[in-house]
Amino acid sequence: MSVQEPPSAPPTPPAPPVSLAALLSRRDLGLRLLAGPPDAAVHWVHTSEMADPYPYLLGGELLMTAGVQLPDPAHYVERVVAAGAAALGFGVAPVYDTVPAALVAACERHGLPLVEVPPQTPFTAVARAVWRLMAEARHRELRRVTEAQQSLAVAAARPAPVPAVLGALASRLGGHAVLYAADGTPYAAAGRELPDDASRALLELAGVLGPRPGGPASASGEGDGLRLAAYALGGGDGLTLGVATESREPGDHTIAGVAVVLLSLLTAPHRGADASARDTALVRLLLGTPPQEAAPALGPGPWTVVHAHGGDGTPFAAPSLAAALGTALLDAGGAGPGATEPGGTPVAVRLLLPASSPVTAQPGWTLGASAPVEARDLATGDAQAARALRRAEAGRTALVRHRPAGFGGLMDEAEAAAYARTLLAPIGEPLTETLRTWLSLHGNWDRTAVALDIHRNTVRQRIARCATLLDMDLDDADVRMELWFALRTP
């Protein structure tokens, strides 16, 4: 059995990829496969007539070219393959009447799908077809997830909710679902029977999570030709959900996450007096009771405050995050998905964790975590988490932890803010955001272009414009440091 923990950030866009075969089946485009397999996954379309497109590719593209600069087809294909492109589309007009034989041979040798684009089909038509296929796939995925959420919610309301939820999950994923106790004993199961080897592999995968504090919230792997996944339930009882399917479809992880939240609620022990007193203390804190009065009921801590933006837009997103971080102390902001503050800023989800529980990056979320604080200092921790979240969003980072203010904390905040406004007055958006991202990435043109989803030449033009308007030498380390302080000043 091979096990992979989920990555902290997806390497491809959230839209589902398009099969090259689906694109080839469009008769209106007239595309023809000349080399390579037809089952490549296309994540986007990029057109380039550069002799070496490698620096401008992110991977997963259908690269479109008319061969304006094609001195060495073999070297060109090597560079395209090295960049991770999914396929190559070659327009036979106006430069070439036919696709060069050397290009076909090179693509066949490297296993790169090569598609002939006829003269009557513009590249924009191919790109538009890809976007439409992506939109259709995304719509199907969202509809599938929504229908699964509804069926899981209905199952949770039945007289025997745990088996009903497992049955609904197994049915929606077309596989097997099992709930393991902390000692590995199957608590309940539903769906098709598993071969013995797959059953042992799934139990082993569930054991990777285990009841230990700070362990991973989920893990995935393969066994006996099946795709396996395991999810730790919230509540601290060591319960684990195991899922086995023949394939892994877009939306499966979201559907399983909904089941995890429901099963966590359904299997949670009855709340005792200590838990009630703790929640009462939190309510009193939110209503303005002095922290020193509520601290005895909450417990001395220390505690970590976490602020979060993101999620999949469903009502289950915030509880799923809380379950993944191993806490029941959640404040979803008192508003539904997509709610914003008066200034347009999304309402932050706030969580409270024991300082001994590690805060880890979660897919689809941006997190800011405070330093460990005592119960009487929760207001300070709340402010720290809010600042950390702002830094995470500015730097496009999944998780930022509070760190001591350092020299920046020695400045008067009002004076620093006034100076920052004066210093940055000559530039506005998008120059300010480009400068902030460029500085945060140590002046790297390519990484800044990827982070902002623009061309690297656009980054160079904007930074040069900033240098002119600010009348500063941006190659000077002192200048960069001063601008970074100004850009980070609230």
Q: Residue 89: which CATH number?
A: 3.40.1390.20
Which amino acid is it at 262? L
CA-based R_g, the chain, Å: 27
Q: Do 421 and 366 belong together in one domain?
A: no
Residues 6 or more apart in contact with residue 249 via CB below 8 angstroms: 173
**Parent domain of 329:** 300-403
Q: Do 342 and 318 belong together in one domain?
A: yes
pLDDT at 235: 60
Q: How many CA atoms lie within 13 A of 52 on its CB side?
A: 6
Report yes or no on 281 lying in a domain: no
Q: Do 340 and 363 belong together in one domain?
A: yes
Residues 6 or more apart in contact with residue 255 via CB below 8 angstroms: 144, 145, 148, 149, 152, 169, 172, 173
Q: Collapse the DSSP code of 362 into the 3-class scheme (helix H, G, I; strand E, B; otherwise coil) and give the result.
A: coil
pLDDT at 50: 92
The answer to whether the beta carbons of residues 266 and 241 sit under 8 Å apart is no
Q: Collapse the DSSP code of 73 into the 3-class scheme (helix H, G, I; strand E, B; otherwise coil) and give the result.
A: helix
DSSP 138: H
Q: Do 174 and 103 belong together in one domain?
A: no
Per-10-residue mean pLDDT, the chain, length 490: 42 69 92 93 92 90 93 94 94 90 95 95 92 85 83 78 88 89 84 87 81 66 85 77 85 85 72 49 52 60 88 67 77 56 68 85 90 83 88 86 66 72 86 90 89 90 91 88 82
Q: Residue 201: which CATH number?
A: 3.30.450.30
Gap between the Cα atoms of 99 and 106, Å rounded: 12
Gap between the Cα atoms of 117 and 355, Å rounded: 59
Q: Do 188 and 122 belong together in one domain?
A: no
Q: Do 246 and 323 belong together in one domain?
A: no
Locate 171 and state its tokens.
């049915």
Compute the Cα dihedral for 365, 219, 140, 18 and give only its sign.
Answer: positive
Q: Do 190 and 223 belong together in one domain?
A: yes
> Which of 403, 425, 444 represents a domain boundary (last residue)?
403
Report yes or no on 110 lying in a domain: yes
The answer to whether the beta carbons of residues 351 and 321 sit under 8 Å apart is yes
Which amino acid is it at 402? H
Q: Collapse the DSSP code of 176 into the 3-class scheme (helix H, G, I; strand E, B; otherwise coil) and give the result.
A: strand
pLDDT at 407: 58
Please calculate the CA angle 278-283-284 and round it to the nearest 5 degrees.
95
Gap between the Cα atoms of 242 and 422, Å rounded: 57
Closest-CA residue to 432 (of 479, 366, 367, 484)? 484
Locate 134 and state its tokens.
């992506």
Q: What are phi and psi for residue 90, nearest 5 degrees?
A: -120, 120
Q: How many CA atoms lie within 13 A of 345 on its CB side?
A: 11
Helix (H) or strand (E) holding 186, with range, is strand 186-191
Closest-CA residue to 212 (of 369, 358, 322)? 358
pLDDT at 143: 85
Q: How many CA atoms lie within 13 A of 395 on its CB side?
A: 19
Q: Indicate the number of domains in the chain.
A: 4
Report yes or no on 148 lying in a domain: no
Gap between the Cα atoms of 346 and 473, Å rounded: 36
Report yes or no on 287 lying in a domain: no
pLDDT at 294: 58
Residues 6 or more apart in contact with residue 107 via CB below 8 angstroms: 34, 35, 36, 77, 88, 113, 114
> Which of 403, 425, 451 represents a domain boundary (last residue)?
403
Q: What are phi and psi for residue 264, nearest 5 degrees?
A: -60, -40
pLDDT at 91: 94
Q: Do 162 and 230 belong together in one domain?
A: yes
Report yes or no on 293 lying in a domain: no
> Which of 403, 431, 457 represents a domain boundary (last residue)?
403
Locate 90 and state its tokens.
């070659």
